[in-house]
Amino acid sequence: MIDQHSLAANYELLDFGDGRILERFAGYCVDRPAPVAANHKPAMPSAWQQAAARFERRNDGGGTWQIRQPPPDPWRLAHGRLLLELGLTPAGQVGVFAEQIPQWRWLEKALSGTTSERRVLNLFGYTGAGTLQTAALGATVTHVDASSAAVAWARRNAAWSMLQDAPIRWLVEDGPTVVRRELTRVRRYHGVILDPPSYGHGPDGQPWKIDRDLHALLADCMRLLTGPRPFVVLTCHTIGYDRDTLVRLLGEHVCDQVEAGDLGVTTSGAYARWIGR
């Protein structure tokens, strides 16, 4: 069992403003673009000198890291029993999204209250923190992501977290395709977690556009749910998908109250979540 470090001790938001954010992950400080901070001024200008790496985005959407000091090797971040591998990615990410911490904690509530097997589907699962948090709480999880590199990273995180033997099914596939297949096979779940991108494509080139495809995907996900206390966690970072929009989208499929809010000061985005009866 990993020492019970809290993420608060391993992650720190140092400052944000002028369209950028300064964060410390497991002792290593990074300076990255953050459009949500465009209308703010940094509170501590001198703090930005701590940045060991700074990501500069290009006009074509790519970017490069300017590295003053390389990250630790290994570079990992602890949260509860999870140990998550970090890295400076070509997209300017580091492998973990700190704004999702409240959703990981909420999963404890969603998965409580029953001793029966709980099956959870995690779509667009990225490097697996949500999957591993769910598995650590005793659920059986199907993890889906279109990127083979992301799924490989998630599996390494499972090994770091001593969850390599947990009941997790790893799928490098298109999320909507998986959902439609599960409906055909009459395989059902007690919960669905999804964090859809604005646009993308599956391993076989299947296109995804949130404006076109999210509504149908949510409808199919609701058809997958079964058992007592079914739940859905929906998070979005797309402009125009604020908390009210997500409540409306999810509320079209449930009769109980939907809980919603903003993901945090570090990023644009919102969440909506629901537990049935």
Q: Please give the C-alpha separations between residue 114 and each of 110, 227, 275, in angstroms, as whole numbers.
A: 10, 10, 13
Q: Per-residue pLDDT tens for 53-90?
A: 999 999 887 899 999 999 999 999 998 889 999 999 99
* Residue pair 63/55 in contact by the 8 Å Cβ criterion: yes
Architecture in CATH for domain 98-275: 3-Layer(aba) Sandwich (3.40)
The first and second tokens of residue 159, run together, are 């090994």
8-state DSSP, 128:
S
The first and second tokens of residue 262, run together, are 């903003």
Q: What does the domain layout of the chain look like in residue ranges?
A: 7-74, 98-275
8-state DSSP, 75:
-
C-alpha 132/C-alpha 110 separation (Å) is: 15
Confidence of residue 5 (pLDDT cuts 50, 70, 90): very low
C-alpha 195/C-alpha 241 separation (Å) is: 12
Read off the pLDDT of each residue in 239-245 and give the average, rounded to a whole number.
91
Q: What is the CATH number of domain 7-74?
A: 2.60.40.1180
Q: Which residues pair with 228 in a beta bridge?
A: none
Q: Which residues contact 5 (CB under 8 A, 6 or more apart)?
A: 78, 79, 80
Stated pTM of the model = 0.91
Confidence of residue 175 (pLDDT cuts 50, 70, 90): very high
Amino acid at 103: Q
pLDDT of 32 strictly over 90: yes
